[in-house]
Structure 1
Amino acid sequence: MYENKYVPVDNALAEWEDKKSILVRWEGLNPYTLNRWISEMRNHKQFRDYVINPTHKLVFINLEGFEEFLRWKQKGAVK
């Protein structure tokens, strides 16, 4: 079985992360909510390019796009 492992590069910022890395980066976010949000991003024209699935099991999320999505959700919740 292939296991993807993020290896940081000196002086480089990650642009894309897998779900495990997102859950580490955003403490308090649980897998169920992340999966719902990824699905919501895929179904929204503004955010679908921030989620890529090179295989049926592997997903990468663009960090800037994910933060933009969260800010968009926040604006909708604050109305």
Structure 2
Amino acid sequence: IYDRLFSDEAPDGHKDKDFMEFLNPDSLNVVKAFLEPSLESSKPGDRFQFQRLGYFCMDDDSTQDKLVFNRTVPLRDTWSRRNK
């Protein structure tokens, strides 16, 4: 699951710091999960909604042994914003 690459809106706007200091350590999360057996017959480009996570598309890098899905649209998370 991809997130913002930088933790600052303008990482190159800080003259006293290197933009690399603003890399988001959570910009890529690889999640291993159990899926329904029916997803084994899906093809790259097929789209799915995974409950409570968002909408995903099967990646071209998928193989029979390792299915890869990329999130295309996250679900809105109003709960976490409300509790901050």
Give the TM-score, by structure 2 length. 0.29
More strand by share: 2
Give the TM-score, by structure 1 length. 0.31
**More RCO (CA 8 Å, sep 6+):** 1
